[in-house]
Amino acid sequence: MKNKNNLDPEKAEKLLFQMLLMRKFEEKSAELYTKEKIRGFLHLYIGEEAVATGIIQALKPEDYILATYREHAHALARGVDAGVIMAEMYGKQEGCSRGRGGSMHLFDKEKNFFGGNAIVSGHLPLATGMALASKKLKRDNITVCFFGEGAAAEGEFHEALNLASLWKVPVLFVCENNLYAMGTALRYTHAVQEIEKKGPAYGIESKAVDGMDLLKLMEAANKAVEQVRSSGEPYLLVCNTYRFRAHSMFDAELYRDKTEVEKWKKRDPIPKFRKYLLKENLISEAKVQELEKRLNTEIQKAVDLAEAGTWEAKEELTRFVYSENPVS
Amino acid sequence: MKTIQFREAVAEAMSEEMRRDESIYLMGEEVAEYNGAYKASKGMLDEFGPDRVIDTPIAELGFAGIGVGSAMNGNRPIVEFMTFNFSLVGIDQIINNAAKMRQMSRGQFNIPIVFRGPTGSAGQLGATHSQAFESWYANTPGLKVIVPSNPYDAKGLLKSAIRDDDPVIFMESEQMYGDKGEVPEEEYTIEIGKADIKREGKDVTIVSFGKIIKEAYKAADELEKEDISCEIIDLRTVRPMDHDAIIESVKKTNRLVILEESWPFGSVATEITYQVQEKAFDYLDASIVKINTADTPAPYSPVLLKEWLPNSGDVVKAVKKVMYKD
């Protein structure tokens, strides 16, 4: 039976588990980073989980997803195996890019997950292009592109929105506004700080939503996805959120006040959603405990796969650069 | 055989491929309503309609990326830059996405895309409109770089580029679009990565590519009168480079001159020089001479431009130098 927010116990459990998995997976990743098991840059999504969860639950498996370099959560929500992601971050052959991508470049074509795009805003034109191809090839799906408010200051944001609107392609632009472009506050980077005001300049319907509240996000996402699907035209959804952790593992966070972080942590979307589910009797305490146990097993399984993984043979270095069956 | 202009060769290649494969489309500034800034897409809007011949705004970064995105999702786009000078505005999409997507996703995505348009100088256009970035693109693993020098090569190679599953940079010239040449009536393609001996000779090897190779032809005619026989190799494809063709020729002539229309530092000529000293060191009877533009931005003044751009006189001088006849 569904409640007024269209939730039944099965979906409620799935969503809570998903957010908890994102959180625990990244907490484990941070720990493994300090142990030097994971190297390179590592950008954590902790605090923003409701956004990826709320949007992706509204999609069909055949819809396309493109995300930024802060994309572990999106990959998990899309169903990319946690072990395969962990193995990729270890740089192992069992990883989704066989150790060629790392944390910032996760790809899984089978799951319609198109990165892992590590140049800020570089994937917005890709998303418009993918949606254009879907339209041309008469594919019945939409493309969803996640990006930060920092990307909205790039020229590519404006070019991608203008052409998505001009050419009427089915793409949902999801701005994850976490208030900081790396370590620079929104007020220092945008003349107009309400990112949702930038969509209408290109004839694109836009809306802002509380990015810390899964229920509100789901409602906004369902509407936005439905609109893109039925109209075949773009939509901009701005999710106002906050990352609790540093920009990357190398960031001392001197640009923001600890009290600000603490204030936002009080709005943590995960306890909020759990509390709601308990209140609505959509989940029991016993079930929550069971979920957490299952979660620990899942994380351990992921780490075990990565640990037991093998290194790509060095003879494989030149592989995948060019197509293996060149046509002429 | 029939005689057509270079621009017609380009249009024929694109049109023939678009007729056989509906996933191909052409996109760029003024390619549709205007029929192409240099008329290389003349008539294509009429034949294929606005869904497949698409005018873009002046937004090179955006439409380059849209091309790559559509290639990730089953299209085979041809993206025209009005000139490769403007490709610099879109170069992030070429280098970071088109060239790398395949490798960083362990081969999950092919990027079958052609970026094409004119390269190099085209008269008194000044510094920003006279640049040749062949070596920049050829420096990037994941890309293929083709620079044809006549209509026959342009048509055959462009058809291969469109059919190729990897991103191809295809460089033409404003000053070649009117060049005429013979092409077969029937369909043909030319293999990517194969150089072509445009003229056989025994005394000196001249390696070149693109429109500047015409200066080598003129020089060879002149040198012939002095009984100096030049072998002219047209690279046609800069990456992958046909090292074997160059090495084989050098082993025969023992002398090498390289003619290229780009700045000298880290150029295609530099790469060839390295390859030859590594693979044919003992065959060389003289130091290799490379001819590039002057090491300055292109000037506007006709006097300075003439000084800046390599010409047949430079080639004659270089050949005589490697033959110790200077």
* Residue B243 among the catalytic residues: no
Is residue A318 in some structural domain?
A: no
Q: Which residues pair with B205 in a beta bridge?
A: B231, B256
Residue of A214, A251, A188 whose CA lies nearest to A43: A251
- The angle subtended at Cα B304 by Cα B299 and Cα B309, nearest 5°, is 80
Is residue A221 in some structural domain?
A: yes
Residue of A252, A244, A246, A261 whose CA lies nearest to A46: A244
CA distance B11 to chain A (A): 19
Closest by Cβ to B62, choosing from A108, A125, A139: A125
Contact B157, B148 (CB under 8 A): yes
CB atoms B109 and A105 under 8 Å: no
CATH number (domain holding residue A18): 3.40.50.970
Is residue A5 in some structural domain?
A: no
Give the DSSP per-residue string, B64-123. HHHHHHHHHTT-EEEEE-SSTTTHHHHHHIIIIIITTHHHHTTTS-----EEEEE-S--S
Tell me the per-residue pLDDT of A176-232, one tens digit each, with 9 for 90 and over: 999 999 999 999 999 999 999 999 999 999 999 999 999 999 999 999 999 999 999
Tell me which chain B residues have a C-beta less than 8 angstroms from the C-beta of A122.
Answer: 65, 92-93, 96-97
pLDDT of residue A250: 84
Q: Is A313 on the interface with B (CB under 8 A)?
A: no
pLDDT of residue A324: 80
CATH 3.40.50.10860 is the classification of domain B196-322: no
Question: How confident is residue A325, by pLDDT bands cut at 50, 70 and 90?
Answer: low
Domain boundaries for CATH 3.40.50.920 within chain B: 196-322
Report residue A264: phi and psi, to 5°: -70, -35
Is residue A45 in some structural domain?
A: yes
The catalytic position among B60, B134, B231, B271 is B60
Residues of chain B with pLDDT under 70: none
Average pLDDT, chain A: 96
Q: Amino acid letter at B326?
A: D
Q: Which residue has the tokens 């490798």?
A: B103
Looking at the predicted structure, is the pLDDT value of residue A249 above 90? no
CB atoms B69 and A127 under 8 Å: yes
CA distance A76 to chain B (A): 17
Looking at the predicted structure, is the pLDDT value of residue A287 above 90? yes
Residue of A nearest to B108 (CA): A109
CA terminus-to-terminus distance, chain A: 58
Domain boundaries for CATH 3.40.50.970 within chain B: 2-183
How far is Cα A136 from Cα A229, in angstroms, rounded to an integer?
A: 15
Among residues of chain B, what percentage have pLDDT more than 70?
100
Among residues of chain A, what percentage have pLDDT more than 90?
95
Is residue A6 in some structural domain?
A: no
CB atoms A107 and B104 under 8 Å: yes
Q: Mean pLDDT across the stretch A278-293?
A: 96
Is residue A162 in some structural domain?
A: yes
pLDDT of residue A328: 40
Chosen from A80, A96, A130, A166 to mutate, greatest number of chain B CBs within 10 A: A130
Is residue A317 in some structural domain?
A: no
Looking at the predicted structure, is the pLDDT value of residue A4 above 80? no
pLDDT of residue B75: 98
Looking at the predicted structure, is the pLDDT value of residue A9 above 50? yes
CATH 3.40.50.2300 is the classification of domain B2-183: no
Contact B147, B209 (CB under 8 A): yes
In eight-state DSSP terms, residue B256 is E
Give the structural domain span for A212: 14-310
Closest by Cβ to A100, choosing from B61, B106, B191: B106
Tell me the per-residue pLDDT of B62-82, one tens digit each, with 9 for 90 and over: 999 999 999 999 999 999 999
The tally of domains found in chain A comes to 1
pLDDT of residue A13: 97
CB atoms A129 and B65 under 8 Å: yes
Is residue A322 in some structural domain?
A: no
| Residue A24: Cβ-neighbour burial (10 angstroms; 0-12, 13-18, 19+) | middle
CA distance B23 to chain A (A): 8
Question: How confident is residue A327, by pLDDT bands cut at 50, 70 and 90?
Answer: very low
Q: Which residue has the tokens 């043909």?
A: B188
Q: Is A246 on the interface with B (CB under 8 A)?
A: no
CB atoms A128 and B93 under 8 Å: no
Residue of B nearest to A132 (CA): B70
- The angle subtended at Cα B106 by Cα B102 and Cα B108, nearest 5°, is 65
Instruction: Please report, for residues A162, A278, A292, B231, the alpha-carbon distance to residue A286 in angstroms, rounded to integers and kept in the order given.
Output: 50, 11, 10, 84
- The alpha carbon dihedral of B300, B304, B309, B312 has a sign of positive
ipTM of the complex: 0.94
